[in-house]
Structure 1
Amino acid sequence: MNFLKQLSVNFRRAIYFNLMLLTLLYAGEINWNSISGTHWVIFFEANDSKNANKLLTTLDQAYPKISVALGIELTDSVYFFMAPTESDYLNHVGSSIPNWSSGVAFPAQRRIVLKSPRTSNQPNAPFKTAVHELAHIMLHSNIDGRAIPRWFDEGIAVYFSGEKMYASGSLVSKAVISKALIDLMEIDRVLKFHQDKARLAYQQSYLAVRYLFEQYGAEQVKKLVQQLRQGNDLDQAMLNTIGMDMADFEYEWYHHIRNKYRWHFLMDFDYYLWIIILGLFILGFILIRRRNRKTIKRWEQEDDWDEPWSDTDSSTI
């Protein structure tokens, strides 16, 4: 049995290696360099040498935290491709991936494609994206290709990557006020969402997973992931660990965020304040200009009414 298991592992590794060779051939004229870590191989263009080394350090620091928290260890290498240009990125990920994406994980191939930090106006963002995608690979390696709800998948990824644009509650707060919250199961279609709705979906996913950690504890989340490994779907896994199914959890979580985040958008008050100040300045400018025009017009009318001065009736001595 052990022999057959090892044969299966070696067969999978051979498939992954051949997939990487095909990917490199498909990549066209890029002169790829590579560096290797304990669990990954990073392919990059020479101009990204410094970024590749930083990525290696980032992954080495992030992996133990994810591994311990979820009880997952990688048994095969993960392949990272740092696409030097936007067009190279699109060649790797295909046309079905939305243009707002900055990284994509392909769990079945253990492959992650990232945009080079040189293409970003936020140099640190691609490294957080890398951790985000690594969390996807690790979670999916735990469930042997079975599907899991996207909100849990994305929530785990954002939880460990710490991406600030998703970690705040500002978008959810506005969605609570406008009654625009997305059903968690609807987040399965996130890749078809426009960018603003996708950001809300990622933020909701993160806050739902964070609620799991904070309300039920890290150990229960780890047990939940173990339940997924054993073949349970998320609904049953939640019932076995936190004592409620998906519907009850979502109801409880919605009640929580409505109470906690209803007025959270006011934390952006300084942003709105400057908009108000600018609006008042423009309004004041328009009103002053209109008043000045009226004043000038009144003066012109008064000049027309004045009689010309004459000294014919004046007396002299």
Structure 2
Amino acid sequence: MSSACRILGLATLLLLLAAPASASTRLEPAVITVQNTRFSIDAPRGMAGFVREAARVIENEWSRVQESIGAPDGELLHVHIETDLHDWFRREGLPARSPEWAAGLAIPSRRVILLAPRNPEWERTMVHELSHVAVAIAAGDARVPRWFDEGQAVQIAEQYGLDRATVLLRANVLGRHLDFAELENGFPHGAATAELAYAQSTALVRFILEAHGDDVFRYILRDMRENGWTWEHAFLHRTGRSTGSAYAAWEEQVRSRARWIPVAAGGGMAWTLLAFLFLWVLRRKRARDRARLAEMERAEARIFDFDPDDATFGATSD
């Protein structure tokens, strides 16, 4: 190769290295981050649009959730959007805690929320998880019964629909409730049993609110936070009875209301009506699932369509 050719080749290489990268060759950031004085959101690249929607939901709902449960302001939330919720645990070096059916998860002591983006009801799931964090803040991170934590979250997120009402009705008629004492420290991992646990817990939360007023849980959690009381102590102080007594009162109310079904309709007719109700709910659920899948397919391109310019979404102002 001649000296002139070598010089020309070197000059060409230097020009290529010095030239700015085109928009088509720019590297996408691995993580999109939004942060202000109240919350931060991390998500994989390609989800800038979803991050904006999540930020909007938190801005609109967090204050309402805090107010409803009496959680003081000033805590920073950390929201992680995960296509697989287990990924967060792997990054943190922790054993995975989320059931396979979970669409979201809160780690209240860390003020962390994990959210799966393909869930078509992700906005309600977000509010549900916000409630868990708010309860931890309101209680000063003291332990609360799991049935209260979950029932309150379902109540705030308005997730108690006909499906759960039917699950509870079946348990009421058959007399096959879960033991609330066993729901104090954890929930079942099976999806069907968990549905009954959610339904029972929400019903008990409503029962206590009706019996003792809309602010009773705010007062209980405030007593725990400010006085260092246990849940049982604060509950007894504010309601005049133990949680065990509340369980028994709810179960007696359920039994008294369930007695009229066979009497009003006749034994065989009662079970026939209940069977028709279950079939109707099942058909409705399957239709809704088909609609959800269609919506997920329509939304997937929008949610995961990466715009390189959106990658600099960065920080938002409070």
Q: TM-score range by the shorter chain?
A: 0.5 to 0.7
Q: Report the 3-state secondary structure (helix = DSSP H, G, I; strand = E; otherwise coil) of the residue aligned with 2:68.
A: helix
The residue type equivalent to 2:82 in the other structure is: A
Is the CA contact 2:85–2:115 (under 8 Å) kept in the aligned structure 1?
A: no
**1:157-236 equivalent positions in 2, closer than 5 A:** 157-164=153-160, 168-188=164-184, 190-229=186-225, 230-236=227-233
The count of corresponding residues between Structure 1 and Structure 2 is 243
Partner of 1:98: 99
- Match of residue 53 from structure 1: 52
Deviation of 1:130 after TM superposition, in Å, equals 1.3
Mapped to 1, the partners of 2:110 and 2:218 lie a distance apart of 25
Higher relative contact order (CA 8 A, sep 6+): 2
Contact 1:32 1:46 in 2 (8 A): yes
The equivalent position to 1:272 in structure 2, one of 275, 279, 282, is 279
Residue in 2 aligned with 1:113? 114
Q: d(CA) in 1 for partners of 2:53 and 2:204?
A: 30
Aligned 8 A contact 1:234 1:246 in 2: no
Structure 1 unmatched runs, 5+: 1-28, 277-317
- What amino acid is the match of 1:104? L
Task: For residue 44 of structure 1, give the secondary structure of its aligned residue in structure 2.
Answer: strand
Amino acid at match of 1:130: M
- The amino acid across from 2:123 in the alignment is F
- The 1-side partners of 2:140 and 2:35 are apart by 25
1:107 and 1:167 mapped to 2: Cα distance? 28
Letter in 2 for 1:141: I
Is 1:44 matched with 2:43?
yes
Show the counterpart of 2:74.
75
Cα distance, 1:41 vs structure 2: 0.7
3-state SS, counterpart of residue 40 of structure 2: strand
Runs of 4+ in 1 over 6 A off after TM superposition: 273-276
Corresponding residue for residue 145 of structure 1:
141
2:213 and 2:281 mapped to 1: Cα distance? Answer: 40
Q: For the Cα contact (< 8 Å) 1:154–1:205, is it kept in 2?
A: yes
The one-letter amino acid paired with 2:248 is: Y
**1:242 paired to 2:239:** yes
TM-score, length-normalised on structure 1? Answer: 0.67
Q: How many angstroms apart in 2 are the aligned matches of 1:275 and 1:244?
A: 39
Contact in 2 for aligned 1:148/1:234 (Cα 8 Å): yes
Q: Deviations over 1:45-69 (max 9, x none)?
A: 2432222222222222222222222
Supply the distance in 1 between the matched residues of 2:143 and 2:281 (Cα, whole angstroms): 46
Q: Is the 8 A contact 1:151 1:185 kept in 2?
A: no
Amino acid at match of 1:149: P
Distance in 1 between residues matched to 2:89 and 2:29, nearest whole Å: 14
SS in 1 for 2:115: strand
d(CA) in 1 for partners of 2:89, 2:258 = 37
How much identity, in percent, do the aligned residues show? Answer: 22
d(CA) in 2 for partners of 1:54, 1:260 = 43
CA-to-aligned-CA distance 1:132-165 (integer Å, 9 cap, x gap): 1111111112333322111111111111111245
Q: 2 CA distance for matches of 1:255 and 1:91? A: 45
- Report the CA distance between 1:202 and its aligned residue: 1.2
Q: Is the 8 A contact 1:166 1:206 kept in 2?
A: no
Higher-Rg member (1/2) = 1
The reply to whether residue 251 of structure 1 matches residue 252 of structure 2 is: no
Amino acid at match of 1:50: G
Which letter maps to 2:213? G
Cα pair 1:228 1:234 within 8 Å, conserved: yes
Shift of the 75–166 alpha-carbon distance from structure 1 to 2, 3 Å rule, reads farther
**How big is the shift at 1:250?**
0.9
SS at match of 1:169: helix
How does the TM-score come out when normalised to structure 2? 0.67
Cα distance in 1 between the residues matched to 2:86 and 2:112? 18
Change (3 A) 1:173 1:110: same
